[in-house]
Amino acid sequence: MTGNHTRYQLRHDPDDTWAVEDIFTGQTAEVNGIPQGGLNLKMPDARIDLLNL
């Protein structure tokens, strides 16, 4: 596999929480219908890694 396959990134929201953002749509990513927002800083890194696989 070649090229960059990054679709999701970390976003810092105004309420001082973090979200996993879809860089193509600008929307908060969802996993099984659950928005990946309102997270503390430790939570989203693993989710971003998994979603970008």
- φ and ψ at residue 47, rounded to 5 degrees: -65, -40
Q: What is the pLDDT of residue 49?
A: 84
Can you give the residue ranges of every domain in the chain? 8-51
Query: Which token pair is 48?
Result: 């971003």
Residue with tokens 């999701």, as numbered in its chain: 8
pTM metric for this prediction: 0.76
* Contacting residues for 35 by C-beta, under 8 A, at least 6 apart: 19, 28, 29
Residue 19 has a pLDDT of 94
| Predicted confidence band of residue 2 (pLDDT cuts 50, 70, 90) | very low
Q: What is the pLDDT of residues 12-48, one digit of tens each?
A: 999 999 999 999 999 999 999 999 999 988 777 788 8
